Amino acid sequence: MSQAPSSPTPSQPRLVLGSTSIYRRELLARLRLPFEVCSPQVDETPLPGEAPAALARRLALAKAQAVAAQFPAALVIGSDQVADVDGQSIGKPGTHERAVEQLRAMSGREVVFQTAVAVVCTARSYVAQDLAPVKVRFRTLSDAEIEQYLRVEQPYDCAGSAKSEGLGIALLEAIESDDPTALIGLPLIRTARMLREGGLNALTSAAPNTATGSHA
């Protein structure tokens, strides 16, 4: 059973992750900060003609702001990821059939996973956001490889239908990034910097045994 995090100290701002993604929750837990999780309830439909990077940035900020409206004194993290194939946005497949289509489209090509993060504290008028693009080169994949991968890992809740932290690494030839957790869904180097700027330093505030966040 996961241990609930300790409460923040009086001088330490409350931290809320504006996402129900298990991947982002697990990544944020690496910073060993007590945090809560709250669903942002944001419409993720792209705007007409919206570029993938712009979509990711807009949604990350919208998620953080939506949750910050409920927790105005807290530091709230929002994040979003969009796969960029020649300027076209590729989101979560949701179904096996769409995942097959996505992997076929990315086979043998370079795809940029646009991962955006925003940190907001309404009470302090603090707003920060950044983009961590990750260049990923896919191998030329056979239909048999695609089918087997999807049956084994079922990555239907992942943008681009691949989990690089799991078997999905075998789909790839190379990954280029300056923030190594960005491809999984939350760029922790950028996140830690924004939290420091917002008054929460992970190195001085980390709890020794924090394992995971709790639901709000």
Separation of alpha carbons 83 and 52, rounded Å: 7
Q: Is 116 exposed, middle or buried (0-12, 13-18, 19+ CB in 10 A)?
A: buried
Active site annotation includes 80: yes
Please tell me which residue in 80, 84, 130, 179 is annotated as part of the active site.
Answer: 80
Q: Which residues make Cβ contacts (< 8 Å) with residue 8, sequence separation at least 6?
A: 14, 15, 34
Buried b / exposed e along 168-197 (16+ C-beta atoms within 10 A): beebbeeeebebebbbbbbbbbbbbbbbee
SS3 content of the chain, % helix, strand, coil (to 5): 35, 25, 45
Half-sphere exposure of 30 (CA within 13 A, CB side): 13
Residue for token digits 């991968």?
149
Rounded CA separation 185/159 (Å): 9
Q: Which residues are catalytic?
A: 80
